[in-house]
Chain A
Amino acid sequence: MRQQVLQVTALLVVIMLVAASCSSDDAALDDNSAGDSTSTTAATDTTSAPTETTADPDTDNAAGGGTLVVAISEDPGQYNPALTTSGSVHTASELMFNGLLAYDDQYAPQPDLALDWEIEEDGALYRFNLRDNVVWHDGTPFTSADVKYTFENVLTEFHSRTKASVGSVLVSVDTPDETTVEFRFSEPYAPFLQQLDVTEAPILPAHIYEGTDIEANPANLEPVGTGPFMFASRSADEEIVLSKNPNYFKEGLPILDEVVMRVIPDEGSQVLALESGEVDWLWGVPGPDLERLRKDDQFGTLDTLVNPGGANCIMTVSFNLDRPIFNDVRVRRAVAHALDREAFVERVAFGQGNAATAPISSGIPTAYASGLELPDFDPEEAGRLLDEVGWVRDGEGVRNADGVEGIEDGTPLTFGVHLFPNFAPYGELMKALLIDIGVDLEINALERATMVEQVFTERNFDTNIISFCNGTDPEVGVRRMYISSNIAPVPFSNSSGYVNPNVDALFDEARNTVDPAARKAVYRTLQEILVEELPYFWLVETTSTRIFTSDCSGFRAFGHFAEAASCNRE
């Protein structure tokens, strides 16, 4: 009996070894094909070219099909991008849907489901003319009714960013005919054109969702969209398979036959899978490996300000202004002087980003203010400021209070920083830099739900480091950090607890100013105040690097990244 068991298991082991040796031959073939390539420059081509002209059917028609394997970090479990702002849902689903507009790499609006548009009544009325040749994946024609339904019943109900911004000012959506949609707002609403791509406002099929429980609709698992790829199959936590949409409304696109989203949670394992040829595209690469892979001509890269969580993200320190130690702007300024932004870029972000130079990301050229004077790296000035406030230091150790307003003498200068575990290295560098100026920092790395509750609901923190994504317009992701009405138990709101009526008024003014130059001037005034008062300190504008096998080309960094991609393999 026992011997039989042994025999069976031995047999199993042999089978496995045989299996291993058989298919390792295939792997070797793949390796060969990865070696020859002529398209390493493809990455830079696509970044400058508008989406629609990227594909040239004449040169690409012979080759280019086949399967693209994309690594994703998690299986979100549902694939309806209109229901959520979750990065993992959007990563997995955006190829199946469209927005009214798409954006080029400067975030300038381009036609997508809408061909063109008009703005009337100083920005209180937007009219879009839709394409008439679009069909849903199930063959039903796309019409203006789908747009109306999606905005009224889904986006302004469930998509938290669009709900919070558009939802609060949208009065009505009208459909004069099947290819025209009109949005009416309660007041001039400047940022609307920046909120209409597949990320901010994907359009759903009304005929499938109307009259159902939207969140429980089976189409959330097997989506029906208009996008370049159609849902084919899924295996939980393993992969999602998308197939080419033969009726896509853009001529000659897509080129690939199939896109497989492969779930690989560990970043290091993703890199190994790319190098072994099992995966073709990664959304990001851990810093240390990036330099090595950049030098390898088997891979192409694309740098972008769009992170999986949103566009134009800035790693930001916020000071809890309810805490007595941060009452004095000189203490906040001292901390800012100690935090070497360049060191964060080099040692934590590994060059994937640049030092922040203003409260609003340089990736939003319509609002960014250049030439502001942020506190630069100057530990001595930091020490001087702290001495001045009354935080005194004997030699090398931690400073103690000696005549600091509102603080008992002898209290050591120690505080905590709250952050998500994946940002722990930012906290570690902050700790190292603050030791130099006599501050003891305690790092609290907390999982998402706990962190959000501690910071935004309980306000039980001293400082925090959060990646605040500015989005495509300050209305989307900047306003929420500073206006006093947004000090609320709501995630990613005004975490410092900053109150300045002047700033509140300026944000309102910017929202209603449609003229670009005038609007930009308002944002400059605003940022000058913020740099003076430092309720936050802005460390790094993080970029993210897409990396892919150089067998494939024609990618974009965000949105429909594989719409015009093609692969050239044996």
Chain B
Amino acid sequence: MTRRYILGRLWQTVPMLLGVVVVGFLLVHIAPGDPILALAGENGDEAYYAAMRERFGLDQPLTRQLWTYISRLARGDLGTSAIQKQPVSAVIFDRLPNTLLLAGTALVLSTTIGILAGVLAASKSGALRDRAVSTSTLLLYAVPVFWLGQLTILWFGLRWGWFPVQGRTDARSNSTGLAHFLDVAHHLALPALVLASQQIAVVARLTRTALIDQLEAPHIDAARSRGLPDATILFRHALPAALLPVVTVIGNRVGHLVSGAVVVEIVFGWPGIGRLLVAATTDRDIPVLLGLFVLIGFAVLIANLITDISYRWLDPRIRIG
């Protein structure tokens, strides 16, 4: 059943993605601003622009262009970047691993720290630590990401010199192996934490609420009356059930993480696809922009799928039913 379910869901993503392509395509093509400028430079004359329009098929009707795009896409061809004159797939996949590393680390960090903080707060609801956690997560949530980024750079990077302030590696050394890994980890720490910050707040608050609910549930009272230690009750009985809604929210917020990466990548000079998106938008590099639409849409759909599956797997009621 599971395998059929997964295949079925995967199949469902196809029309969704197609829809994304069409919407994205129409969006960038009805927008004001002439895409030929990106292709042909800004100092040409009229005849030159006309020739270039023909060469890139921009003189064709929109539906025709859309059809050309989709039929190429079906063969796995995302086209050629207008600015960089390279295949869009190469342009995107050059940068994708960096964003995956950043967002993935942020996901791990936010899930761990968020759940731990939530447990800490819920374990003694109303106490000082509860208030401390609640207040600090609220603050983390309310501060704009770029602001937090610049402040951490100022303090952790410049004032105390603990972390480098930009980039993915040290520009002056060509390390390999373990040294390279440590170099990257060192550069990754600040941006990943900043990207994780808002997510930490959301996960912590949610875990806390769900856990407090669980701790008041009848079967916990029963466990308590059997004289089980508090820690056992907390981790064995209450937490697993409380994590259910948390998992859903973490999955649903993958999009937030990708969006947040845009700002974080710019603040920390991290070479990922968030920056590519901004550059492609301002340069009106339509093939790259559409390629990103497809990729992000796919990533979000897959994330939703994984969430659903893990939800089914975690929740005994659904598993049985």
Binding site for B on A (CB under 8 A): 2, 6, 9-10, 12-13, 15-16, 19-24, 27-28, 31, 67, 69, 74-78, 84-86, 158, 160-161, 163-164, 215-216, 220-221, 235-239, 260, 262-266, 268-270, 272-273, 275-276, 278-279, 447-454, 457, 488-492
Contacts and interface: CB of A to CB of B under 8 A. Distances in A.
Contact of A262 (B37, B98, B171, B281): B171
Interface string B14-31: 000000000000000001
B183 A23 contact: yes
B129 to A, nearest CB: 19
Contacts of A490: 43-46, 49
Given A85-B41, A268-B150, A457-B34, 8 more contacts: A22-B182, A23-B182, A78-B86, A164-B43, A238-B98, A269-B267, A279-B166, A453-B33
Given A69-B171, A239-B171, A77 B284 contact: no
Interface in B44-87: 44-46, 49, 81, 83-86
A192 to B, nearest CB: 18
Q: Which 5 A-B pairs have the closest CB atoms?
A: A160-B43, A77-B84, A449-B33, A236-B94, A450-B33
5 contacts: A19-B189, A27-B161, A75-B271, A164-B43, A264-B167
A12 B168 CA distance: 17
Contacts of A264: 166-167, 269
B32 A454 contact: yes
B41 A278 contact: no
Contact of A278 (B44, B166, B271): B166
Contacts of B166: 262, 264, 269-270, 272-273, 278-279
Contacts of A239: 167, 171
B250 interface: no
A20 to B, nearest CB: 5
B204 interface: no
B167 A262 contact: yes
A492 B33 contact: no
B165 A269 contact: yes
Given A237-B276, A448-B282, A31 B46 contact: no
A160 B109 CA distance: 49
B303 interface: no
A237 B94 contact: yes
Contacts of A275: 158
A129 to B, nearest CB: 31
A275 B159 CA distance: 10
Contact of B85 (A31, A160, A220, A273): A220
B95 A236 contact: yes
A495 to B, nearest CB: 13
B310 interface: no
Contacts of B268: 269
B52 to A, nearest CB: 11
B185 interface: yes
A163 B44 contact: yes
A453 B276 contact: no
A263 B164 CA distance: 15
Interface in B254-299: 266-269, 271-272, 275-276, 278-279, 281-284
Contact of B185 (A19, A27, A76, A160): A19
A221 B94 CA distance: 14
B237 interface: no
B202 interface: no
A75 B288 CA distance: 15
Interface residues of B, number: 64
B37 A449 contact: yes
Report which residue of A27, A67, A84, A492 has the largest number of chain B beta carbons within 10 angstroms of its beta carbon. A27
B42 A492 contact: yes
Given A160-B41, A237-B275, A260-B172, A20 B186 contact: yes
B141 interface: no
Contacts of A452: 33-34, 37, 42
B162 A278 contact: no
Nearest to B272: A237
Interface in B182-218: 182-183, 185-186, 188-189
A-side interface mostly:
helix
A24 B169 CA distance: 14
B43 A273 contact: no
A429 to B, nearest CB: 24
Nearest to A77: B84
Contacts of B45: 164, 488, 490
A31 B162 CA distance: 13
B167 to A, nearest CB: 6
Contact of B32 (A21, A23, A266, A453): A453
A263 B33 contact: no
Report which residue of A160, A260, A278 has the largest number of chain B beta carbons within 10 angstroms of its beta carbon. A278
A69 B172 contact: yes
B164 to A, nearest CB: 6
Report which residue of A13, A76, A265, A275 has the largest number of chain B beta carbons within 10 angstroms of its beta carbon. A265
A31 B161 contact: yes
A31 B94 CA distance: 33
B100 interface: no
A489 B32 contact: no
A448 B82 CA distance: 15
A513 B42 CA distance: 28
A161 B43 contact: yes
B232 interface: no
A490 B272 CA distance: 33
A118 B221 CA distance: 100
A8 to B, nearest CB: 9
A158 B34 contact: no
Contact of A453 (B34, B44, B283): B34
A275 B154 CA distance: 10
A273 B283 contact: no
Contact of A269 (B37, B153, B278): B153
B112 A6 contact: yes
A111 B183 CA distance: 44
B305 interface: no
Given A85-B41, A220-B85, A265-B266, A10 B171 contact: no
B158 A448 contact: no
Interface string B240-258: 1000000000000000000
A479 to B, nearest CB: 13
Contacts of B162: 20-21, 24
B132 interface: no
B139 interface: no
A308 to B, nearest CB: 15
Contacts of B269: 262-266, 269, 273
Contacts of A454: 32
A461 B189 CA distance: 47
B35 A449 contact: yes
A457 B94 CA distance: 35
Nearest to A3: B235
B228 interface: no
A421 to B, nearest CB: 9
Given A236-B94, A449-B37, A491-B43, A9 B108 contact: yes
Report which residue of A12, A77, A78 has the largest number of chain B beta carbons within 10 angstroms of its beta carbon. A77
B220 interface: no
A448 B37 contact: yes
A276 B33 contact: no
Contact of A279 (B81, B109, B171, B188): B171
B165 A278 contact: yes
B108 A12 contact: yes
Contacts of B284: 447-449
Contact of B41 (A22, A84, A263, A268): A84
Given A20-B186, A454-B32, A77 B271 contact: no
